[in-house]
Amino acid sequence: NAGVTQTPKFRVLKTGQSMTLLCAQDMNHEYMYWYRQDPGMGLRLIHYSVGEGTTAKGEVPDGYNVSRLKKQNFLLGLESAAPSQTSVYFCASSYVLSTDTQYFGPGTRLTVL
Amino acid sequence: AQSVTQLDSQVPVFEEAPVELRCNYSSSVSVYLFWYVQYPNQGLQLLLKYLSGSTLVESINGFEAEFNKSQTSFHLRKPSVHISDTAEYFCAASGSARQLTFGSGTQLTVLP
């Protein structure tokens, strides 16, 4: 039981490049989330999904897109990376949207030059 | 929307001393409250949560937090800390919007 996994762990991009972050969970959770963590700002929700084929915007969605084609996977895409997107990205999943524990992946450290 | 304020960004404390990490949330008709812990270079892990019922909740490693509705607070306490408690601690709240809102985090450093 791997829990929540994220690939890659580290990535350096140049401004304007694109990339996709992959999150996978093996707990059969309905809900999945993408957060970004910046110093002194805690975690901010980018997008989330309440089930296969559905996605919704969080607090800071601009510049990101997501897809949930399979229940166990949640992809985060950056179409044209900007230095302001340098951050640590965390994926999480849970059974219930508001009251249940969220299980987090180990994070992806992204640097945009 | 919920807002969560963690009043201290850094808390240094000596080993075996007590510690309190403060958290205040914006008032809501119903609110669920959480404390998560992040060890270096890892993701967040749930420490404890308040959903309803008893206002005092405990974790398996000696932390406790008390839900205080009148003061809109959910402070985290431990009577005696260990070096291994060094980590960043995040308070989070979920209300009518059904999304978790995190505080900015408190870095707890336990000194020998």
Q: What is the 3-state secondary structure (H, E, C) of A29-81?
A: CCEEEEEEEECCCEEEEEEEEEECCEEEECCCCCCCEEECCCCCEEEEEECCC
A105 in contact with chain B, both atoms CB, cutoff 8 A: yes
Of the candidates A51, A57, A46, the residue with the CA atom closest to the CA atom of residue A110: A46
* Mean pLDDT across A28-51: 93
Nearest-neighbour CA in chain A from B111: distance (Å): 22
What's the rounded Cα separation, in Å, for the pair B44 and B31?
A: 21
Mean pLDDT of A84-102: 89
Measured between CA atoms, how close is A105 to chain B, in angstroms?
A: 6
Contact B100 A105 (CB under 8 A): no
* pLDDT at res. B95: 75
Q: Do B104 and A48 touch (CB under 8 A)?
A: no
User: In the prediction, which pLDDT does A40 show?
Assistant: 84
Strands B64-68 and B73-78, sheet pairing: antiparallel
Calculate mean pLDDT across residues A14-37.
96
B7 touches chain A (CB under 8 A): no
What is the rounded CA–CA span in Å between residue B39 and residue B5? 21
Segment A11-15 mean pLDDT: 97
- For A48, name the nearest residue in chain B, comparing CA atoms only: B99
Residue of higher predicted confidence among B97 and A111:
A111
Report the pLDDT value the prediction gives residue B30, as an integer from 0 to 100: 72
- Give me the residues paired with residue A89 across strands: A36, A108
The confidence score (pLDDT) of residue A16 equals 96
Total count of residues recorded for chain B: 112
CB contact A12 to B (< 8 Å): no
Mean pLDDT of B46-68: 89
pLDDT band at A105 (very low <50, low <70, confident <90, very high): very high
AA identity, residue A21: L
Q: Are A42 and A23 in contact (CB under 8 A)?
A: no
Chain A: give the shortest CA distance to residue B21, in Å.
15
Give the pLDDT score at B94.
Answer: 85
In 3D, which of A39, A22, A29 has the Cα closest to residue A1? A29
Q: What is the mean pLDDT of residues A81-104?
A: 90
Question: Computed over its alpha carbons, how large is the radius of gyration of chain B?
Answer: 13
**Closest chain A residue to the Cα of B94, Cα to Cα:** A98
Cβ-nearest to B42 among A45, A58, A106:
A106
Q: List the structure tokens of B27.
A: 């008032």
> What beta strand segments (E) does B1-112 contain?
4-6, 10-14, 19-21, 23-25, 32-38, 44-50, 56-58, 64-68, 73-78, 87-94, 100-102, 106-111
What is residue B63's predicted lDDT score, i.e. its pLDDT?
96
Judge whether B87 and B37 are in contact, CB under 8 Å.
yes
